[in-house]
Amino acid sequence: MRIRTRGQGQELAMLLPALIFITALIVVPFLLSVWFSFTDQRLVPRPIPTKFIGTTNYERMFVDPLFWQAILNTVLFALIVTPVQLAMSLGAALILNSAIPFRGFFRTALFLPFIVSLAVAAFAWSYLLDPRLGLLNYWLQGAGVQLGDVLEDPVLAMPAVAMVAVWKNFGFYMVIFLAGLQDIPASLYEAARVDGAGAWRRFTNVTLPLLSNTFAFVLIFALIAALQAFDQIYVMTGGGPYGHTQTIVMEIYQSGFRKLDLGFASALSYVLLIATLLLSIVQFVFFGRREKDLA
């Protein structure tokens, strides 16, 4: 008993620094933000003390047109980014899973953008898209196409920032799809060929069913990442032009750090948290059912 107690004390002592770190930087801010969402807390000193206002921040949120615009922009961003990422990453994985020359080089090259900081990538793309100095406009002008200032165009700004997210992340999803493809037994493809199945039939009847778990994981992961989009929007457009790229995370930033309304920003954060949590629950339920079916 003494030896066991001494061992447990040593384990707790070794865990203590990490527990203090997690409590100070995660647990305490989380609990404070919950409290702030029910108060009129602001980031500036004022003579009137902070007071509890109940669900006023949440009620105010749902009658605020800027909130609904941010929701629509976030949904639009997710609808652009997620399908394109899935299609490109799966297509690249299928190509690079075959015996093509230099496939190791291409795998590395396509994965490299994921390592780059999204803010740095956004700066680079901002210069590429610049109507006066950008190489993209220069090349298009040589072909007789005048693109103009994409990031100031209400129609093209959202696809432009979405394109950066696709370029940045699809290599990561490609690697996940590659891992899923390599888990599919080659004997199943051989059996399908013997039965006379062409490439499309092998893809729809063998690859897609056996890749369903991987596909669901990538889909949920990409959706959650799209809901949290901030870096490239902040760098490239700042939420403009005229709020056409103002996503929910940008609205949280604007409310908390520019308008200094920390209570309202905290309430917005918890709406985003609930949406992300719902997507995670969908993922857990899906995988739970798949495991039961496979068992």
Contacts 24+ apart (CB under 8 A), 39-44: 39/263, 40/263, 41/262, 41/263, 41/266, 42/260, 42/261, 42/262, 42/263, 43/256, 43/257, 43/260, 43/262, 44/260
Candidates 275, 171, 197, 181; CA nearest to 229 is 275
Model pLDDT, residue 127: 85
The total domain count for the chain is 2
* 220 shares a domain with 133: yes
* 15 shares a domain with 66: no
* 151 shares a domain with 61: yes
Host H or E run for residue 178:
helix 157-182
* 102 shares a domain with 205: yes
* 29 shares a domain with 138: no
| Burial class of residue 203 (count of CB atoms within 10 Å of its CB; 0-12, 13-18, 19+) | middle
Answer yes or no: are the C-beta atoms of 223 and 82 closer than 8 Å. yes
287: pLDDT confidence band, cut at 50, 70 and 90? Answer: low
* 178 shares a domain with 138: yes
Task: Please state the rounded mean pLDDT for residues 26-54.
Answer: 82
* 143 shares a domain with 21: no
* 69 shares a domain with 169: yes
Question: Does position 290 have pLDDT exceeding 70, yes or no?
Answer: no
CATH number at residue 110: 1.10.3720.10
pLDDT in tens, 128-169: 888 777 777 777 777 777 777 888 888 889 999 999 999 999
Answer yes or no: are the C-beta atoms of 142 and 136 closer than 8 Å. no
Range of the domain at 214: 37-294
Candidates 273, 170, 165; CA nearest to 218 is 170
* 27 shares a domain with 163: no
* 74 shares a domain with 16: no
Model pLDDT, residue 178: 92
* SS3 assignment, position 15: helix
Answer yes or no: are the C-beta atoms of 226 and 249 closer than 8 Å. no
* 162 shares a domain with 23: no
pLDDT in tens, 229-277: 888 899 888 888 888 899 999 999 988 888 888 889 999 999 888 888 8
* 156 shares a domain with 94: yes
pLDDT in tens, 172-208: 999 999 988 888 888 888 888 888 888 888 888 888 8
pTM greater than 0.75 (yes/no):
yes
